[in-house]
Amino acid sequence: MKKFFHYLLLSVAMVVTFTACSDDDDPYFQLPETLQGKAVTIISNGNNLSDAQCIYSLGADHKTVTLNIFGTAAGKAEAASDVPAIAPGYILPGCADVTLTFAPEITATGASYEGQGTSTYCTYTYRVTFTEAAVTVEFKDIVMNSGLILSEITYTDSDVDHMLELTYNGAPMMGKIVKYAPAENEYDKAVITLSGATLDLTDMLETVSASLPLDLSKLKTIPTPGVFPGSVSTDLTITIGSDGSFSGQGETDYLTFKYSGTATASKMALNITEATLKNTAIAGTWNPVPFAMEDDWNSPNYGMPISNPIKFEWISDAPIDMGSGSQIPTMLVGHLLSIMPIIPSEDTQLTIPQMLNKALKSVTFQPDGNIVAEYVPKALSTNPAVTSPVNLAQYVVKSDGEVLVFLNPQAIIMAVMSEGSKSRADGNLDLGQFQSIIDALAPTLLNMVQNGAPLQYTHAGDDLSVFLGTEVLKPLLQAIIPVCQNQEVLEALKAIVDQNMAGMGNLVKNAMASLPAVINGTTKLEAGINFQKAAQ
């Protein structure tokens, strides 16, 4: 019996002790008994209501909160207004007294709650936050019962509370933003601003950086192109109907279009239709030129490409030094790349033009600005050709001979994820040596994503060539000069080449070492694809 009471007293003591520790060391924020000493901020539709008051009540369960928020007009009879403005002394349109009851989510540093409410003349959402020093109540997403939206709202396809459903000529378009801003004192009118959503790769790049000795922070946020190719941002002034619908037509520097949609606080559906480029000079379907060599012994061009899908021309004041006194003029590089079988494919080796002909079947520059490619996945002849989705890549003809190409990073990532991909880091090479390339190229590449990659083109009859020019390629190559001068990288490259082409490693190493002088001496460099018009 003594043992029983001994254990009983010990158990009681332990419970009391742990309970006391829990009360003293509770890691969670404690909801206040009163708001005395705390800064209270009331915000409605983006405006700070300096004359609003708040009565606070904490429930007996210490989890439920009631807030009675009222303005100086409280107690007056509510009255609807033809203009659904929030008049002085009111909290919401026609409403000077709002009561909120809720159980906030509590963390270690504070508490918060987001909810929805309805008053006589409107619906709204609200967010309440508690900290040790302050309480903030914000009313937003205010929509009149007539459907008119009073609040500025940003819609995206990743925000379930403000969802954007956007189509471009009938096809879904992702990775975009539409900002809705009602006109002051004319709430049936608004300006919607269409732009690209910044792509945040922070989490993904942190994972990559953890396994690779590279700082990828400069690439963690990617500015993306706008909805319309060639326009980073487009404003449309709309008139909202009683059902939230709107429609109209517009134009940018490069195209014309029509639009229609509906808007509520929680969702915008926007359809861009009849989008058509003003300049359709290269619109149509184009096939890469088939690769062919001159096989007539009597021809002075015997052994030379007479038809080539690869457009490549390089002129430099300095030759490529292969070592042992052997030099190659840069003008021959395009020829060598066309005839050397350097790409493994099934049980053979292919040249770059052969691989291109095998992989890429056609490219269509659509009149609406979309670029669609027909290609064979992994370039295996046993695979059927597939067509890339629309709204993955777009273009505009900026001027005669110049085209801007825009890629949609979000759509590309989704396409790659759906196909599946594999990557492998070569454990024999310190990838940290390539940090300088990433640092040098990041600003240029990010600018090209948002504002378009500037390509050149030549077009005559049924022939079209699209290519990157010297002003783009030379700065990109100059970024790799430090790597060309790094002995560790050169030795690793030599080993890789020797594994695939025995005895060629030294030649490639010497050529790489001579590239800094070749790049700096470059006067002309063009690389792209030669097309011919597809049969109708």
Which tens digit of pLDDT belongs to each residue from 102-157? 999 999 999 999 999 999 889 999 999 999 999 999 999 999 888 889 999 999 99
CB-based contact 165:268 (threshold 8 Å): yes
CB-based contact 310:356 (threshold 8 Å): yes
**Helix axes of 470-478 and 435-451: crossing angle, nearest 10 degrees:** 150
Structure tokens at 476: 């990109």
Question: With pLDDT > 90 as the criterion, what percentage of the chain qualifies?
Answer: 56
CB-based contact 408:222 (threshold 8 Å): no
This prediction's pTM:
0.81
CB-based contact 45:142 (threshold 8 Å): yes
**Is residue 5 scored above 80 in pLDDT?**
no
CB-based contact 358:381 (threshold 8 Å): yes
Q: Partners of 61 in the beta sheet?
A: none
Give, in order, the Cα–Cα distances in Å from 407 to each of 189, 441, 445, 448, 494.
Answer: 33, 17, 11, 9, 34
Coil, helix or strand at residue 512: helix
**Is residue 281 scored above 80 in pLDDT?**
yes
CB atoms within 10 A of CB 173: 22
Q: What is the pLDDT of residues 162-208, one digit of tens each?
A: 999 999 999 999 999 999 999 877 778 999 999 999 988 777 666 66
CB-based contact 179:196 (threshold 8 Å): no
Q: What is the pLDDT of residues 405-433, one digit of tens each?
A: 999 888 877 766 555 444 444 445 555 56
Distance CA 475, CA 409 (A): 23
- Beta strand pairing call for 267-277 and 163-168: parallel
